[in-house]
Amino acid sequence: MTFDNQLRVSSEVGTLRRLLIHSPDRGLGKVVPSKAQDWLFEDIVHLDTMRREEYDYYVKILLYFLDSEKVKGKIKEIDADPKRLFYKPGSPEYFNSDKVVDIQKLLAEILEEESIRVKLIASICAVERCSFRIQEKLEEYDSIELAKILISGSLPDRHMIFAPLPNFIFTRDIGIVINDHVLLNKPAKTARTRESLLTQYIFFNHPQFEGCRNNIIEIPDNEHHFLLTEDELKSDYLRSTLEGGDVMMVAPRHLLIGCSERTTLYAAQQVMKSLFERNVVDTITIVKIPKKRDYMHIDTVFTQVKRNVWVLLGSIARQGDEAKKRDVLHFFAPKEDPDRLQIMQFNKGWENKPTEIENLEDLLADISKNDLGCSEPVEFIYSGNNEFPFGAREQWTDSCNLLALKDGVVIGYDRNDKTLEAFRAKGFRTIRAKDLLEEFEAGISSPETIQNTFIMLPSAELSRARGGSHCMSLPILRDGF
């Protein structure tokens, strides 16, 4: 396969052209209750249901929008195969798209090169503290099987040699494309170290990213992190961790960075310094959200639906109304209430004079009007239709975590009934993924013609993993406005 090395994302809602995903792998079926918390996975899922009845629809929808020749007129044939070979990298029947790309396929491809293979096996075994015999055994497998093992943690005979990576389906967290640059993550939890290492190897070694290697940004640690005490390493002001769910490229020159339980202020500062020095963006807005499991990243609190439409959690949207009545020491002072939403906007050349924004709605409205040039009124759709207790309940099952396939067309979970009511009240059509695929196959509609649509993805198992369609995508190419 040839690669054109195109890589550019300058908005959240421009027509999506290429992205990285990862289908649920056999490691998800190895999560046990006693280790779920350590492995950062919320629940015990039924893997076959998650694959066949839920995630497979996600893949087919993505392919229909981004690479329709892979699926158009073939849905019945694809669905009829009990072995699901269409979805399995390495099989002759695999869809093998260069627009909807499984990161496992990229990993297998770089493992074809012996020098990379040897270094990566050694690196993973060091991180996982494997025996030398395990390292030797891994060298026996072909690249396709080795990629599966390095991600799932288990051998073909189902024997586990190290922990699975259940969160690898959330490809958003491993990195983010900012205009023509790539920001790689720096995970907050040890359980995601292997994900980060695999991602580094892929971006620095795969031919698809050859043209952007000088534009890859890695977040540095605190210069003297090895001297910090255990308590200091927990400090937002000294520790450097960042995950992609806390980064949004909302406009060509404007980036949002969330500070959450997974992304620290120190890391946000380092990213801001690097991006301003490289002249990648002009404005960076830091959104500090409460450090609660409910709000793991900013994309669990809000995402963009259309240039002038956002979906968000109402109970957090206006927490900042009293902000101007409080003193802010050094912008984000430790004495500040940790459960209060706080927003600071920094402009290149004026980093020492940030602007505090009162609430989330004001920020998002300003982005739509001034960064994206919307003349239409800015609309907000609230999780659970802003009704108690549905707002919080449905936010927990990712009502605010939507992926825009193009301006006004998003994919999200089918289970958030009140949020879907709110979408319909704003003039959006809601349709099950299965029904939309049938429409496409019958020629009733097409990805080019549909507008203002919420595509409902089956989600009984996927939603238990605590991540939505936004989390399950890493866009690497979108159209600009």
Contact at 8 Å (CB) between 180 and 7? yes
247 band by pLDDT with thresholds 50, 70 and 90: very high
Cα(52)–Cα(234) distance, integer angstroms: 40
Tens-place pLDDT, residues 13-52: 999 999 999 999 998 888 888 776 776 677 888 999 999 9
SS3 348: coil
**pLDDT of 217 above 80:** yes
What pLDDT is stored for residue 5 in this prediction? Answer: 61
| Pick from 283, 362, 307: nearest CA to 14 | 307
Contact at 8 Å (CB) between 168 and 201? no
% residues pLDDT > 90 (the chain)? 76
Lowest mean pLDDT among 15-24, 231-240, 311-320, 464-473: 231-240
The backbone torsions φ and ψ at residue 231, rounded to the nearest 5 degrees and listed phi first, read: -65, -40
DSSP string, 198-257: HHHHHHHH-GGGGGGGGGEE-PPPPTTGGG--HHHHT-TTT---B-GGGEEEEETTEEEE
Q: Exposed e or buried b for every residue in 170-208, given b needs 16+ CB within 10 A?
A: bbbbbbbbbbebbbbbbbbeebbebbbbbbbbbbebbeb
What pLDDT is stored for residue 218 in this prediction? Answer: 94
State the average pLDDT for the chain: 91
Which distant-in-sequence residues (6+ apart) come within 8 Å of 34 by Cβ? none
Angle of helix 103-110 relative to helix 193-205, nearest 10 degrees?
60
Contact at 8 Å (CB) between 248 and 255? yes
**pLDDT of 239 above 90:** no
**pLDDT of 164 above 80:** yes
Cα(91)–Cα(87) distance, integer angstroms: 8
Cα(288)–Cα(256) distance, integer angstroms: 10
What pLDDT is stored for residue 319 in this prediction? Answer: 59
Cα(231)–Cα(221) distance, integer angstroms: 16
Cα(365)–Cα(378) distance, integer angstroms: 6
The backbone torsions φ and ψ at residue 66, rounded to the nearest 5 degrees and listed phi first, read: -105, -25
Lowest mean pLDDT among 99-103, 318-322, 344-348, 451-455: 318-322
**How do strand 355-357 and strand 283-288 relate by DSSP bridges?**
unpaired
H-only helix segments in 345-459 = 360-366, 390-396, 417-425, 433-442
Please, what is the end-to-end C-alpha distance for the chain in angstroms? 29
325 band by pLDDT with thresholds 50, 70 and 90: very low
Q: Across the strands, what pairs with 303? A: 311
Other C-beta atoms closer than 10 Å to the C-beta of 396 total: 18
Assign residue 466 a region (left: φ > 0; alpha: ψ between -120 and 50; beta: otherwise): left
Average pLDDT over residues 274-280: 97
**pLDDT of 462 above 80:** yes
E strand segments, 253-301: 254-259, 283-288
**pLDDT of 66 above 90:** yes
Tens-place pLDDT, residues 73-130: 999 999 999 999 999 999 999 999 999 999 999 999 999 999 999 999 999 999 999 9
Tokens of 370: 């001034």
Other C-beta atoms closer than 10 Å to the C-beta of 216 total: 15
What pLDDT is stored for residue 290 in this prediction? Answer: 87
| Pick from 351, 355, 319: nearest CA to 337 | 319
Cα(60)–Cα(88) distance, integer angstroms: 13
Cα(239)–Cα(404) distance, integer angstroms: 32
CATH assignment, 16-478:
3.75.10.10
What pLDDT is stored for residue 410 in this prediction? Answer: 98
Tokens of 414: 């089918």
192 band by pLDDT with thresholds 50, 70 and 90: confident
What is the value of pTM for the model shown?
Answer: 0.93
72 band by pLDDT with thresholds 50, 70 and 90: very high
DSSP string, 142-198: -HHHHHHHHHH-B-TTS-BSS---GGGG-GGGGEEEEBTEEEE-B-SSGGGHHHHHH
**Cα 158–Cα 88–Cα 400 angle in degrees, nearest 5:** 95
What pLDDT is stored for residue 294 in this prediction? Answer: 79
Tens-place pLDDT, residues 400-441: 999 999 999 999 999 999 999 999 999 999 999 999 999 999
Tokens of 160: 């586990």
SS3 110: helix
Q: Across the strands, what pairs with 349? A: none
Cα(176)–Cα(189) distance, integer angstroms: 18
231, with CB counted inside 10 A (0-12, 13-18, 19+), is: exposed
What pLDDT is stored for residue 238 in this prediction? Answer: 72
Average pLDDT over residues 286-294: 87
% residues pLDDT > 70 (the chain)? 90
**Cα 280–Cα 352–Cα 286 angle in degrees, nearest 5:** 55
Contact at 8 Å (CB) between 287 and 359? no
Tokens of 189: 């939890």
